[in-house]
Structure 1
Amino acid sequence: MAGQPTKSPFTDAQINAPIPAPIFTTARLGVRTYHPQDAPSMTRAGNNPAILKYMTNSFPNPYDLIAANGWISMNINETHPAHFGIFEKSAPDVLIGSIGLNKLSTDVHAHTAEIGYWLAESHWNKGMMSEVVGGFTKWAFESFEGKDGQRMRKLYGGVYSWNPGSMRCFLKNRFAPEGVMKGQVEKNGQTLDLHWFGLTKKDWEARQ
């Protein structure tokens, strides 16, 4: 019936649970699993056309509380979570972005994954995403385990041609350019190239 409040997708136990501990921290930031109370801060950070420009069309638009709660609910129940929230260490209960492993598979690509992320515009151009990607790469290679026990041997990322900041982020973390797919993406009425960057665990270990 119209006017009735939307039922919460979370259990009382999930709502009343403490904020999760981080899976890793960096000098300024931390990464942790989601909590029901994260929806408002995710909406404030993610509901921005400047972010949407760099995302696939599956990214919610608008990024409202319904979208945030749906994403949190989907991931909070995962036994092997692969998507996480980013926070400043000074405010662990406020998310400023997300990072995760996409295109996980149990087929021939079972030991590879695509890194995907977004960050609140207010935190751009401060080296924060490079900081997080470095920590997340280490965590993914050393600690992540998929539903069937698979471990990561390679990570990669795809970047639209109008996003040089993300290209620098991958290069700074020693992901190697692996090619350009010409005219691969159509976004906001424009045709864009898709730039690929990759890093194997073997190469990552050799640089530690």
Structure 2
Amino acid sequence: MAEANSYEEQRSRQMEENKRKLDELRLHKLSAAVRQASAKPTPAKLLVPRNPRLNAPIRRSGRIASLPEQPDYRPAKAQCNERAELPDPVSVYATDGERAYAISKAQELKDRLGSDHPTFIKPLSHGYATKSYHVSIPMHFIQYLPVHDETMVLVDEMNNKFDVLYSCKPDVSHRRPMLSRWRGFVAEHKLAGGDCLVFQLIERRKFKVYVVRASS
């Protein structure tokens, strides 16, 4: 019995000693602080833009920034786009007599030009003058033209130049060689249905184009 009491007394002393050490180390306060910190909600993460450079200020050299504003020599978008809006050509439906007159005058002009340069006549229908983005070339004329697709030049009677694209291999829809991207020429000369054009090949990739008006 005395041995059991001695054990209990020793155990009590040991517990008192452990409690005293815990108080000295303040471990219970530290554990409470850890529990309190873990209970706090985690702040939401800030959303970072996918491309932070989008909102960044434009960096420019101080030397360049001090220079005067330079003019923009780049061509306007409407000039680069073949299908950009152009002034509407004259929507005139020529009579049969006017068409015949224009063709006869174009034939007279072709005869006066002689045979030094290959020449062909192209009467314009209303669709060619108002809607078409290409003009077909007679099959017999292909012998004078390049064997590959190339950029060619149309020169009018005032020596104004217009770049067009020559397609030597006809596709299923057109079945003839053609000059495309010529809407600038059409709009500039206000071509109408019934007008007649005389194409004269003055160089390998250059046509001189004469306009005979049906309205004249």
TM-score (ref. length: structure 2) = 0.23
Larger Cα Rg: Structure 1 or Structure 2? 2
- Structure holding more strand per residue: 1
TM-score, normalised via structure 1 length: 0.24
User: Structure with the greater relative contact order (CA < 8 A, sep ≥ 6): 1 or 2?
Assistant: 2
Q: Quick check: which one's helix share is greater?
A: 2
